[in-house]
Structure 1
Amino acid sequence: MSGENGYLPEPKGFATAAIHAFQDPEQWESMAVVAPMVASTTFKRYGPSSFKKFEYGRSGNPNRDVLENCLATLDNAKYGLCWSSGLGATMGVASLFKAGDHIICGDDIYGGTNCLLDKVCTKLGLEISFVDETKIESAIKKNTKLIWVESLTNPTLKVINIPAIAAIARKHNVLLAVDSTFVTPYFQRPIDLGADLVVHSLTKFMNGHTDVIMGVTITNNKNLYDQLKFLQNIMGIVPAPFDCYQVTRSIKTLPLRMKQHMKNSLEVAKFLETHPKVEKVLHPGLPCHPQHELYKKLASGCSGMITFYIKNAVLEHSQRFLTSLKIVTLAHSLGGYHSLAELPSVMSHASIPEDQRKILNITDNLIRLSVGLEDVEDLISDLQQALEKV
């Protein structure tokens, strides 16, 4: 990699790349330190079939180009493609395949991904199997084309052994896609662990300000990139230039934010672990997590995600806890600077059938926390007073 094509000379750290990669002021005439916002939907041509770099806003935009390349750099990869949402990115990946092809998906995943694959992609002729990650190899068929997993599952925070599943994928000539939204490239780079594709919902930790909806796919495979680039353009699942500008701004503070998310979430998790009204806490940074040692081998740190079970609680008790919170906000989503709490059984994972939720332990007393950047003493005090109401 060299400065000529926008890459930083090696070696450079993560924070340096987030601030500088593909953002040299000399790339634009204004010499602006911040990449200029370009809202134009079309671009002047030299001739009918001759243009400088961009031709039409759906096909490409300077702000999207900067963001895609910077994000690829952060994941230690060559190619990045931004989509209008995380589910848009997921749909782009699913659209690589044709009717009759088989996709294996982890069973403990984001409810939106489950719904998209189960309710939409099956109508397009794709065969979908939701499988426990320890049983993936036994689920592979002759028509299997893709394995889809989350690096840290949603909402029960199981740690996926990416290198082990990557070895299975290579053995059977199957692609491996990893949704790494919960971990981010600051703590883990799935492509380095053997994945063919990485997907992030940029809406979450990567943007971190709860003001943009966007997704990205990352790969080192030129053939996959070319196919996805075609799909991105022809399906029109593209983000707006201003949104790309916003995310480019946000990732400059990603290292600082992730460090604080980790610090706060560990302190909150330790508090919950000792609370008499809490049955169990799941956080990969805690030694009590059943895959704590595996996670330490695969990632350099933890984000702000915590799952915990209120002891002997039914739906009414969980609702009382959530509505009693004063600082932590009861809301969908995660990964922002403010702390959020939700009840997956009736919110993010409500589309998953009840019998499947029971198997996955997504019960009415399971609370998912996204620990933000507030003073941790205030967060603990808020959780304490809400638990007292249960």
Structure 2
Amino acid sequence: MQATTQLIHSIPVDPLTGAISVPIYQTSTFVQDAPGVNKGYDYSRTNNPTRATLENLIAQLEGGQVGIAFSSGLAAIDAVAKLLRPGDEIVAVDDIYGGAYRLFTQVYQQFGVTINFVDTTDPEKVFNAITPNTKLIWLETPTNPTLKISDIEAIAQIAKANRCLLCVDNTFASPALQQPLLLGADIVVHSATKYLGGHSDLIAGLVVTKEKELGDKLKFYQNACGAILAPFDSWLVIRGIETLHLRVQQHCRSAQEVAEFLQQHPAVDKVYYPGLKDHPNHAIAKKQSKGFGGIVSFTLKQDNAAAATAFVTNTQLFKLAESLGGIKSLVSHSASMTHKTIPAEKRRAAGVTDSLIRLSIGLEDVSDLLQDLQQALEKTNTIVKTTANEAVPC
């Protein structure tokens, strides 16, 4: 059975009423037959039928044993970080999401957890960064926003040999393109706000573990700390997942065209997209993924924040906003938006320069998107030239 068919028919029909859509159990508590005797549910923080359906669904999609749904992607990351103890170390991808950087360095570092940032596109650098205290290797692949690709299978072997957990943030690829657990990872996290939800209408996080014992530990943190996903938001993610494969296919097709267009444009300096054959990690991306994703990043030849700001404020279809993975195309300036919490020198060292722009390619007709990019680049060029002329002293 093909993945799309299996996905659609793995979402259960309600056995009570025959409803083809998963019911939203909008309840805080459940009536018990006797103290401790119930129908599998007692309190919605601990468990809820709608959330349980989502958790089972994402576990199946990722090929894992246990799925856990949280109130945000960062809450999901936080739960994984709670597996660590003072003195433990994380080896993390250098081009890391700004929120994860902030959580690791400003929250967990003060509790005695050390974070070592390395270029994980080179497995040897990961191996060399591991110490006896390393307990977790943290990957994003593709990374946000320079779309670096790490070899999950190779790094999984390194993690196993050194008794480390390997966690992969699979947000950018989604299980429609990539299944890290099947490549050897121990944990997968998602900001379900992005491609899994798919409509820019919710905040959610998901974790999937390969082994039940590890999943049970994270389930404990979900209940003990309380950052649960509400029933209605759980239903929204389920609804989004129903069309995941079709949406991702179109995102990928359009992103490839956008990347090729930008690569030929005289105002563009560098294009970051794993689907381009000159991307340094193209072969690895092709090996471990079914597609190259819907995110394209690029830098301008005018390498400064002013030029980037001129561009992101002059698009029409691409809306200037945080987030990604929705049906509407979005544009962001990483240095001042998603990665502003990362110190400038570290940000630039990871490739996030002042002119880097990230595009989330939506489901509009790609010809319209290309026209929008063309006109925005032309306006940016005019603004930059005008500003330069005004700066010349009389």
Q: TM-score, normalised by structure 2?
A: 0.94
The answer as to whether partners of 2:142 and 2:172 remain within 8 angstroms in 1 is yes
**Deviations 1:32-89 (Å, cap 9, x if unpaired)?**
1111111010011121121210110100000000000011111122211011111000
The answer as to whether partners of 1:22 and 1:69 remain within 8 angstroms in 2 is no
1:184 to 163, 167, 174: 174
Looking at structure 1, the residues matched to 344 and 131 of structure 2 have their Cα atoms a distance apart, in angstroms, of 28
The answer as to whether partners of 2:285 and 2:292 remain within 8 angstroms in 1 is no
Q: Which moves more between the two structures, 96-105 or 145-154?
A: 96-105
Q: CA deviation at 1:168?
A: 0.3
Q: Where does residue 18 of structure 1 map in the other structure?
A: 7
**Deviations 1:74-130 (Å, cap 9, x if unpaired)?**
112221101111100000000012112111111111110011101011122212211
Q: Where does residue 200 of structure 1 map in the other structure?
A: 190
Q: Where does residue 91 of structure 1 map in the other structure?
A: 78
Given residue 351 of structure 1, which amino acid in structure 2 is its aligned partner? Answer: T
2:313 alignment partner, SS class: helix
The answer to whether structure 1 residue 259 and structure 2 residue 279 are counterparts is no
Looking at structure 1, the residues matched to 138 and 2 of structure 2 have their Cα atoms a distance apart, in angstroms, of 29
1:328 to 314, 318, 338: 318
Q: CA deviation at 1:17?
A: 2.9
Q: Where does residue 72 of structure 1 map in the other structure?
A: 59
Given residue 306 of structure 1, which amino acid in structure 2 is its aligned partner? Answer: V
The answer as to whether partners of 2:185 and 2:210 remain within 8 angstroms in 1 is no
Looking at structure 1, the residues matched to 277 and 358 of structure 2 have their Cα atoms a distance apart, in angstroms, of 19
After TM superposition, the structure 1 = structure 2 runs for residues 267-278 of structure 1, keeping only pairs within 5 Å, are: 267-278=257-268
Given residue 74 of structure 1, which amino acid in structure 2 is its aligned partner? Answer: L
1:217 alignment partner, SS class: strand
Given residue 102 of structure 1, which amino acid in structure 2 is its aligned partner? Answer: E
Q: What is the CA RMSD across the aligned residues, in angstroms?
A: 1.0
Looking at structure 2, the residues matched to 251 and 232 of structure 1 have their Cα atoms a distance apart, in angstroms, of 22
Given residue 345 of structure 1, which amino acid in structure 2 is its aligned partner? Answer: A
Looking at structure 1, the residues matched to 347 and 63 of structure 2 have their Cα atoms a distance apart, in angstroms, of 35
Q: Where does residue 151 of structure 1 map in the other structure?
A: 141
Q: How many residues align?
A: 377
1:210 to 200, 204, 214: 200
Q: CA deviation at 1:221?
A: 0.8
The answer as to whether partners of 2:252 and 2:293 remain within 8 angstroms in 1 is yes
Q: Where does residue 4 of structure 1 map in the other structure?
A: none
The answer to whether structure 1 residue 113 and structure 2 residue 103 are counterparts is no
Looking at structure 1, the residues matched to 142 and 45 of structure 2 have their Cα atoms a distance apart, in angstroms, of 32
**Deviations 1:325-345 (Å, cap 9, x if unpaired)?**
111101110000000011101
Structure 2: stretches of 5+ with no match in the other structure:
381-394
Looking at structure 2, the residues matched to 177 and 220 of structure 1 have their Cα atoms a distance apart, in angstroms, of 10
Q: CA deviation at 1:313?
A: 3.1
Q: CA deviation at 1:22?
A: 4.6
The answer as to whether partners of 2:29 and 2:44 remain within 8 angstroms in 1 is yes
The answer to whether structure 1 residue 125 and structure 2 residue 112 are counterparts is yes
Q: Which moves more between the two structures, 309-318 or 334-343?
A: 309-318
Given residue 109 of structure 2, which amino acid in structure 1 is its aligned partner? Answer: T
**Deviations 1:188-245 (Å, cap 9, x if unpaired)?**
1000110000111100011110001001111121110110010000000101100001
Looking at structure 1, the residues matched to 130 and 160 of structure 2 have their Cα atoms a distance apart, in angstroms, of 12
Q: Where does residue 387 of structure 2 map in the other structure?
A: none
Q: Which moves more between the two structures, 16-25 or 181-190?
A: 16-25
Looking at structure 2, the residues matched to 321 and 144 of structure 1 have their Cα atoms a distance apart, in angstroms, of 42
**Deviations 1:228-270 (Å, cap 9, x if unpaired)?**
0100000001011000011111110001100100011011111
The answer as to whether partners of 2:89 and 2:136 remain within 8 angstroms in 1 is yes
**Deviations 1:283-335 (Å, cap 9, x if unpaired)?**
11111211111111111102210011111231111111111111110111000
Q: Where does residue 331 of structure 2 map in the other structure?
A: 341
The answer to whether structure 1 residue 288 and structure 2 residue 275 are counterparts is no
Q: TM-score, normalised by structure 1?
A: 0.95
Q: Where does residue 366 of structure 2 map in the other structure?
A: 376
Looking at structure 2, the residues matched to 194 and 299 of structure 1 have their Cα atoms a distance apart, in angstroms, of 14
2:153 to 152, 158, 163: 163
Looking at structure 1, the residues matched to 273 and 344 of structure 2 have their Cα atoms a distance apart, in angstroms, of 24
